Amino acid sequence: LPADPGRGGRGGDGTVRIEAIELRRVDIPLVTPFRTSFGTQDTRDCVLIRVVTDVGDGWGECVTMPWPLYSAESSDVVIPIVSAHMAPRLLGVDGIGPRDVARLLAPIRGHRMTKAGLEAAVLDAWLRAAGQSFASFLGVAVERVPCGVSVGIHDSTEALVETVGGYLDEGYVRIKLKIEPGNDLAPVAAVRRAFGDDVPLQVDANAAYEPGDIPLLRRLDAFDLLLIEQPFDEERLLANVDLRAAIETPVCLDESAISAQVVADAIRLGAVDIVNLKAGRVGGYLEAARIHDLCVAHGVPVWCGGMVETGIGRAANAALAGMAGFSLPGDNSGFDRFYATDIVADPLRMIDGHLRVPTTPGMGFEVDPEAIEAVTVERVLLEAPSG
Ligand code: NPG
pLDDT, position 11: 44
**Cβ of residue 347 lying under 6 Å from some atom of ligand 1:** no
Q: With a 6 A CB cut-off, is 305 part of the ligand 1 pocket?
A: yes
CA 337 to CA 317: how far, in whole Å? 15
pLDDT at 6 (0 to 100): 40
Report how far ligand 1's centroid is from the alpha carbon of 150 (Å): 7
Q: How many Å apart are CA 81 and CA 118, to the nearest integer?
A: 12
CA of 302 to the centre of ligand 1 (A): 16
**Ligand 1 site, residue 255, Cβ cutoff 6 A:** no
Does residue 164's CB lie within 6 angstroms of at least one atom of ligand 1? no
C-alpha of residue 70 to centroid of ligand 1, in Å: 9
Where does the chain show beta strands of DSSP type E?
A: 18-36, 39-53, 56-62, 144-146, 148-151, 174-178, 201-204, 228-229, 251-253, 274-277, 302-304, 344-345, 354-356, 366-367, 376-383
303 lines ligand 1 (CB under 6 A): no
Kindly list the distances between the CA atom of residue 74 and the CA atoms of 64, 70, 144, 169, in Å, as whole numbers in the listed order.
5, 9, 32, 34
Q: Please tell me the distance from the alpha carbon of residue 387 to that of residue 385, in angstroms, as a whole number.
A: 7
pLDDT at 14: 85
The minimum-distance atom of ligand 1 relative to the CA of 255 is 9
| Ligand 1, atom nearest to 206 Cα | 9
CB of 19 closer than 8 Å to CB of 92: yes
**Rounded Cα distance, 318 and 348, in Å:** 9
Which parts of 171-284 fold into alpha helices (H)?
Answer: 185-195, 214-218, 237-246, 260-269, 279-282
What's the gap in Å between 186 CA and the centre of ligand 1? 21
- For the chain, the maximum distance between any two Cα atoms, rounded to a whole number of angstroms, is 68
Query: Is 150 touching ligand 1 by the criterion CB < 6 Å?
Result: yes
Instruction: Give the pairing type, strands 174-178 and 302-304.
Output: unpaired
Rg for the chain (alpha carbons), in Å?
20
> Which residue numbers are catalytic?
178, 278
Predicted confidence at residue 7, as pLDDT, reads: 36
pTM for the whole structure: 0.95
Distance 308 CA to ligand 1 centre (A): 6
CA-wise closest residue to 196 among 170, 227, 175: 175
Helical pair 285-297 and 311-320, crossing angle rounded to 10 deg? 20
Q: pLDDT truncated to tens, each residue of the chain (387 aa)?
A: 333 444 333 345 689 999 999 999 999 999 999 998 888 999 999 999 999 999 999 999 999 999 999 999 999 999 999 999 999 999 999 999 989 999 999 999 999 999 999 999 999 999 999 999 999 999 999 999 999 999 999 999 999 999 999 999 999 999 999 999 999 999 999 999 999 999 999 999 999 999 999 999 999 999 999 999 999 999 999 999 999 999 999 999 999 999 999 999 999 999 999 999 999 999 999 999 999 999 999 999 999 999 999 999 999 999 999 999 999 999 999 999 999 999 999 999 999 999 999 999 999 999 999 999 999 999 999 999 885
What is the model's pLDDT at position 38? 86
Atom 9 of ligand 1: nearest residue by CA position: 206
* Among protein residues, the one whose CA lies closest to atom 17 of ligand 1: 70
